[in-house]
Structure 1
Amino acid sequence: MANHLDLEEQEQLEQLKAFWGQYGNAITWGLVLIFVSFASWNAFQYWQRNQAAQASALYDEVERSVGTGDISKMQRAFDEMKNRYPSTIYAQQAALLLAKAAVQSNKVDEAKVALGWASEQGKDSALATIARLRLSTVLLESKELDEAVKILQSDPADPEYLAVVQDRRGDVLVAKGDKTAAIENYKKAYAGSAAKPDLQRLVRIKLNALGVDMEQSAVAPSTTGN
């Protein structure tokens, strides 16, 4: 009986050796890859947290500079964020702050550069759309109407901002003298802003100024029987 068990154990051992000889390297490398992937993920998480913390410190510097009106200091902090931490949300927020302060200081070119970066290079789609809208306002006030139209040409990634973009397109097209295209965009903005009553009311006023009464056009014409 003992010999029988010894033979079984020996056979199992031989099978295990054969299995390990065939698949041992693959199993070893698989385990190595799992451990490396786990370590890499932890390292990436640490890197992201570190990037965010350092970007946050620079953003605080930009924010503090707003009160003093030191555009040069804000610009330096933003440039560092843009170069070192471009993928963080803080970089986009800093661009918006810098642009606002620059406009208030009549430094329109600096504002356009900051907003252009936030709209084209920023990672957050909502902030990118806000930057596009603000840039279009700066361009509209600077009478750079063709550039403003170009900035607003595509619809935003976030449908939440679609009606706002359509409304702003209408503003630019009115300034260009394209009444027909302006009305078309205002009508789209009106239809898409039911959940934003303040925006819808403003768009209705603009349409009324262009001779379009949305409330009247929404009422179906009555018919009389013979």
Structure 2
Amino acid sequence: MANQLDLEEQEQLDQIKHFWKQYGNLITWVLIVVLAAFASWNFYNYWQRSQANQAAALFDEVERSIQSGDSAKIDRVFSDMKDRFASTAYAQQSGLLVAGHYATTGKADVAKSTLLWVAEKSSDAGYQAVAKLRLAGILMDAKDLDGAMSQLGSSFPAGFEALVADRKGDILALQGNRSKAVEEYQKAYRLFDPLTEYRRLVEIKLGALGVNVQNTAPADAAQGK
């Protein structure tokens, strides 16, 4: 009986040896690939978290430098942000903050270049839209009306249509194109939520152009159905 068991065990061992001889290398390489992929994924996640933490810390530094009003420090910290973390949301947020600071301190050219960077480099459509709208406003204030309008010519993500129409109305009004300005303002008025204060501002702009805002009431009623 013992000999029979020994023979069966030997036969099983021989089968295992044969199987491993035939498929052992393949199994080994598959395991290596799987483990390497797992290690790479863990490293990538660690690297992403590390990048996000470092970018967040640098963003805090950008905010502090803006609060201090130290232009040299703002430029240095924001340049560091662009060099190291340009693809992160923190870099885009920093760009909008820095542009806002320079716009309010009379450095329109720096604000424009910063907003252009956000509009061109950001992978987030929302940040791009905000940058273009603000850039159009700065160009409009500088009397570069064609340049301002060109910033509004591309597509914008959902939720920005009313703001774009309102800004187009501003530019067209400055260009003396009353009919087109009224058309854009009316579009903005229809798109803005009735409860927003911004809608009231558009109403005032329409009134300044001699348009009774009640003319848009039928369109609003149709939207409410």
**Superposed pair shares fold, TM > 0.5:** yes
Q: CA deviation at 1:93?
A: 1.6
Counterpart check, 1:202 vs 2:210: no
In the alignment, is the contact (CA less than 8 A) between 2:190 and 2:216 conserved in 1?
A: no
In the alignment, is the contact (CA less than 8 A) between 2:186 and 2:216 conserved in 1?
A: no
Between the aligned partners of 2:216 and 2:96, the Cα distance in structure 1 is 39
Partner of 2:191: 192
In the alignment, is the contact (CA less than 8 A) between 1:71 and 1:101 conserved in 2?
A: no
Partner of 1:223: none
Partner of 2:170: 171
In the alignment, is the contact (CA less than 8 A) between 2:55 and 2:85 conserved in 1?
A: yes
Cα 1:189/1:3, change in 2 over 3 Å: farther
Counterpart check, 1:153 vs 2:153: yes
Partner of 1:100: 100
SS at 1:201 equivalent: helix
SS at 1:160 equivalent: coil
Cα 1:195/1:47, change in 2 over 3 Å: farther
Between the aligned partners of 1:183 and 1:9, the Cα distance in structure 2 is 92
Partner of 1:136: 136
Partner AA of 1:130 in structure 2: V
Q: CA deviation at 1:116?
A: 0.9
User: What are the Cα deviations for residues 102-130 of structure 1, in whole angstroms up to 9, with x where unaligned?
Assistant: 12221111111111111221233322222
- Greater shift after overlay, 12-21 or 176-185? 12-21
Identity fraction in percent: 49
- Greater shift after overlay, 18-27 or 87-96? 18-27
Counterpart check, 1:181 vs 2:180: yes
User: What are the Cα deviations for residues 66-102 of structure 1, in whole angstroms up to 9, with x where unaligned?
Assistant: 2332112101111111011101222112111211221
Between the aligned partners of 1:217 and 1:67, the Cα distance in structure 2 is 43
SS at 1:119 equivalent: helix
Q: How many residues align?
A: 219
Partner AA of 2:32 in structure 1: V
- Greater shift after overlay, 193-202 or 80-89? 193-202
- Greater shift after overlay, 185-194 or 142-151? 185-194
Cα 1:217/1:46, change in 2 over 3 Å: closer
Between the aligned partners of 1:30 and 1:39, the Cα distance in structure 2 is 14
Partner of 1:79: 79
| RMSD, matched Cα | 2.5
Residues 39-54 of structure 1 correspond to what in structure 2 (within 5 A)? 39-54=39-54
In the alignment, is the contact (CA less than 8 A) between 1:133 and 1:165 conserved in 2?
A: yes
Partner AA of 1:76 in structure 2: R
Between the aligned partners of 1:22 and 1:166, the Cα distance in structure 2 is 70
Q: CA deviation at 1:154?
A: 1.9
Between the aligned partners of 1:147 and 1:84, the Cα distance in structure 2 is 31
Runs of 4+ in structure 1 off by over 4 angstroms are 1-19
Q: CA deviation at 1:6?
A: 6.0
Q: CA deviation at 1:59?
A: 2.0
| Structure 2: gaps of 5 or more residues | 220-225
Between the aligned partners of 1:202 and 1:193, the Cα distance in structure 2 is 11
Partner of 2:36: 36
| Structure 1: gaps of 5 or more residues | 221-226
Q: CA deviation at 1:219?
A: 4.2
Partner AA of 1:212 in structure 2: V
Between the aligned partners of 1:30 and 1:9, the Cα distance in structure 2 is 28
In the alignment, is the contact (CA less than 8 A) between 2:62 and 2:78 conserved in 1?
A: yes
